[in-house]
Amino acid sequence: MANWYGWMGTILRIDLSKGKITKEPLSEELAHNFVGGRGINSKILYAETGPNTDPLGPENVFIIGTGPTTGTLALGNGRFTLTCKSPLTGILGDGSGGGHFGAEVKFAGYDHVVIKGKTKKPVYLWINDDEVTIKDAKHLWGKTTWETQELIRKELGDPDIKVLAIGPAGENMANYALAIANDERVAAETGMGAVMGSKNLKAIAIRGSKSVKIAEPDKYMKLVREWHEDIEKQHLSHTHRDFGSAYLITVFNQVYNLGIKNSQELRKPDEEISHFLAQNYMPKVLVRSISCFSCRHGCQKFVVIPDGPFAGEKGLRPEYGCMASLCTQLGVFDFGFALKVTNLANQLGIDAQEAGPTIAMAMECYQRGILTKKDTDGLRLEWGNKKVILELLEKIAKREGFGNILAEGCRKAALKIGKGAEKYAYHIKGKSHPDRLTAYIPCVLGFALASRGWDHLRGSVFPHITPSLGPPKFWHYDPIYAKVVSDREHIDAAADMLEICKWLTEFELMEEGKGGVPRMAQLLSAITGVDFSEQKLHDACERNYNIERAYLVRMGLTRDDDVAPHHFYETPIPDGPSKGKILDREQFEKLKDAFYELKGGDVKTGAPKKETLEKLNLGYVARDLEKIGIYAKV
């Protein structure tokens, strides 16, 4: 295709070992079948890495993906996806970020950037439209993410340059180190920063002056306006805008579902933690709304702590994930500390959602005498000890002493600690999360089936966004839930391929018949000029599911890995209306059967069936699986 609309039409490839920079045309086949963003990223990951790839070796790829909507006017178009084989989980790894970085990649003229190899010395990349240079980063090594971005902007003489950087955690290859764009916009999950560190790649600076073209401008504008108007009507959209995901702390606490002290407790009386609830602290700390690129939602808030021990601390309000992981799960209920610890994690370049559960596991081991001060460099790992939490983050980033064990991530750290510590390590496929067992089973089903480990963004369904099912039924294992999760997995995949924010696609679901894949298909067609029927986008979602699934199958994963964390099955809920409940393994497995069938997978193994792959133009994937004997007995 000579003229690209939506897509820029170019993949930038950089081989750091050889210092070679090439520009590869985006193929029509790739764009039509995998759309963009996470879709094309996962396809490249599947094609270029495998079971033998060392996640921290030069052969691993580091892929930046933008979607056809990135850099336009569509709601929440500021997303980008980083994809690598994960050093944390050893399987598919990716992290999605917001802000302005993704759009700048497009404006520089690229849909995807694929980085391989490793330099001998620390470097950073400077992508200035067509000019790409590998620059010395010796002076940046050891610096925090914030310092790095500032120094690079100064050095290149433009405050407007967008920078993706790693901190000390990435340099030292802590397994869950993250990459951060423009100070606050993290692509946090599954250790993307560690992969950058393994390549000696400190940062990527980018500036672009090219245009994203729209195939049908008038039709496109009409769709965007309608979408904006519909979002405005959503009640939840306003709650989200005012409080961010942090209001979930309030909600989860009310329904006895807040993870406290490594999920040993699940509720605190509201009056005891009132200053930790968004509706109470927001009016005191709010400075102004902050938006991602070209999004009218403004769900981020810039805040300053007015008083207390963390007075003067400022930054973007932490989200639920950070507050649950690094506060409630560690026994802290202090918003000032939440901001302080989030800022520190961002500066060091650590994923809060893995660091929190890992520290929580260690604290529970300390509580139970599995760990003592002798094991922890003299630190007292007591619940709520803020000083120790901050110190542990520094140690993790430096992989120093006890921090070197925690830097492995929750699963591997527990194995290293031994003495039964695994019992307190909660993860799915090696990835942790601050959530607890919830009474709404489709939510748990989504957790278990997500391709990158424990994840609420790939099929997990919350009761408030499935109004078509009527009032939510708790502790039900209704067969319809398999379809609900499968559909939701589609919507999330479509959002990730177009690179639209999940918050805004989730709200879409509130209004029946207006949201999800059909609307995204219309938008995609107007932007790209390619006729993306609803079916064509659905097929792309199926393709994305199956190629990610096949990637895991090649690593030896089966349906036995699609399980909830062990405490969901074993530890009865201690309190509240669901007291005594556990996840029913047998019924849960039946829901999984139905899910695999819906996805055209083999119920026995969870692997995609040969005919499913062939139907989706993924014959080459079927042949790969055939070679490793997946279809031998069929």
Partner 1 sequence: MRRQVSTTRISVDAKKCSGCRLCEQVCTFFHEKEFNPRRARIKILINEKEGVNAPLICTQCKTCISACSRSALSWDEKLGIIKVDDKKCNACGLCIDACPECAIFLDPVSNVVNICDLCNGDPECVKWCPEDVLHFVDAGKLGIVPESLPVAH
Cβ 306 to partner 1, closest distance in Å? Answer: 15
Encoded one letter per residue, x for contact with partner 1 by CB under 8 A and - for no contact, window 60-89 reads: -----------xxx----------------
Helix 480-498 vs helix 37-48: angle between axes, to the nearest 10 degrees? 90
Name the residue nearer to partner 1 (CB basis): 139 or 314.
314
Closest CA to 63 of 14, 20, 27: 14
Name the residue nearer to partner 1 (CB basis): 65 or 109.
109
Map the footprint of partner 1 across residues 185-214, applying CB under 8 A.
185, 208-214
The single residue among 53, 128, 264, 291 that binds partner 1, judged by CB under 8 A, is 291
Encoded one letter per residue, x for contact with partner 1 by CB under 8 A and - for no contact, window 96-125 reads: ---xx--x---x------------------
The single residue among 296, 368, 476, 623 that binds partner 1, judged by CB under 8 A, is 296
Provide the terminal-to-terminal Cα distance of the chain, rounded to the nearest Å. Answer: 41
Count, residues near partner 1 per rule CB under 8 A: 41
Q: Which stretch binds partner 1 (CB under 8 A): 119-127, 308-316, 389-397, 581-589?
A: 308-316
Q: Which stretch binds partner 1 (CB under 8 A): 176-184, 371-379, 532-540, 605-613?
A: 176-184
The single residue among 15, 57, 302, 391 that binds partner 1, judged by CB under 8 A, is 302
Cβ 323 to partner 1, closest distance in Å? Answer: 19
Name the residue nearer to partner 1 (CB basis): 221 or 415.
221
Look up residue 131 and give its amino acid.
E
Cβ 355 to partner 1, closest distance in Å? Answer: 22
Report the chain's C-alpha Rg in angstroms.
23
Q: Which stretch binds partner 1 (CB under 8 A): 35-43, 248-256, 290-298, 388-396?
A: 290-298
Position 294 contacts partner 1 (CB under 8 A): yes
Name the residue nearer to partner 1 (CB basis): 217 or 309.
217
Position 27 contacts partner 1 (CB under 8 A): no
Position 288 contacts partner 1 (CB under 8 A): yes
Cβ 209 to partner 1, closest distance in Å? Answer: 4
Closest CA to 461 of 429, 432, 438: 438
Name the residue nearer to partner 1 (CB basis): 158 or 575.
158
What is the rounded CA–CA span in Å between residue 529 and residue 192?
33
Encoded one letter per residue, x for contact with partner 1 by CB under 8 A and - for no contact, window 135-174 reads: -----------x---x--------xx--------------
Cβ 178 to partner 1, closest distance in Å? Answer: 16
Cβ 75 to partner 1, closest distance in Å? Answer: 10
Cβ 290 to partner 1, closest distance in Å? Answer: 5
What is the rounded CA–CA span in Å between residue 418 and residue 210?
54
Q: Which stretch binds partner 1 (CB under 8 A): 133-141, 269-277, 311-319, 380-388?
A: 311-319
Cβ 241 to partner 1, closest distance in Å? Answer: 10
Name the residue nearer to partner 1 (CB basis): 138 or 296.
296
The single residue among 184, 313, 489, 508 that binds partner 1, judged by CB under 8 A, is 184
268 vs 324, 384, 419, 633, CA distance in Å?
A: 13, 14, 31, 53
Name the residue nearer to partner 1 (CB basis): 14 or 132.
132
Map the footprint of partner 1 across residues 211-270, applying CB under 8 A.
211-214, 217, 221
Does an H or E element contain 34, and which?
helix 28-34
What is the rounded CA–CA span in Å between residue 297 and residue 611?
43
The single residue among 17, 289, 533, 535 that binds partner 1, judged by CB under 8 A, is 289
Query: How many residues can be counted in the chain?
Result: 634
Position 293 contacts partner 1 (CB under 8 A): yes
Cβ 315 to partner 1, closest distance in Å? Answer: 8
What is the rounded CA–CA span in Å between residue 410 and residue 483?
31
What is the rounded CA–CA span in Å between residue 546 and residue 621?
9
Position 312 contacts partner 1 (CB under 8 A): no
Q: Could you count the other beta carbons within 10 Å of the beta carbon of residue 627?
A: 10
Classify residue 180 by its DSSP letter: E
Q: Which residues contact 273 (CB under 8 A, 6 or more apart)?
A: 253, 333
What is the rounded CA–CA span in Å between residue 243 and residue 359?
27
Q: Which residues contact 2 (CB under 8 A, 6 or more apart)?
A: none
Residue whose entry in the numeric block shows the structure tokens 């967008």: 162
Burial-class residue 558 by CB neighbours within 10 Å (0-12, 13-18, 19+).
Answer: middle
Q: Could you count the other beta carbons within 10 Å of the beta carbon of residue 586?
A: 7
Cβ 387 to partner 1, closest distance in Å? Answer: 25
Map the footprint of partner 1 across residues 556-615, applying CB under 8 A.
none
Cβ 133 to partner 1, closest distance in Å? Answer: 19
Q: Which residues contact 493 (CB under 8 A, 6 or more apart)?
A: 38, 39, 458, 540, 541, 544, 545
* Spatial contact of 473 and 210, defined as CB atoms under 8 Å apart: no
What is the rounded CA–CA span in Å between residue 359 and residue 144?
21
Encoded one letter per residue, x for contact with partner 1 by CB under 8 A and - for no contact, window 514-553 reads: ----------------------------------------
Q: Which residues contact 40 (CB under 8 A, 6 or more apart)?
A: 30, 31, 34, 65, 111, 112, 497
CA diameter of the chain: 68
Q: List the beta bridge partners of residue 479.
A: none
Position 295 contacts partner 1 (CB under 8 A): yes
Edge-first strand order for the sheet with 162-165 is 131-136, 123-128, 201-207, 162-165, 179-181, 185-187
β-pairing, 201-207 with 123-128?
parallel
The single residue among 36, 90, 168, 315 that binds partner 1, judged by CB under 8 A, is 315
Name the residue nearer to partner 1 (CB basis): 290 or 603.
290
| Residue ranges that bind partner 1, judged by CB under 8 A | 71-73, 99-100, 103, 107, 146, 150, 159-160, 182-185, 208-214, 217, 221, 287-298, 300, 302, 314-316
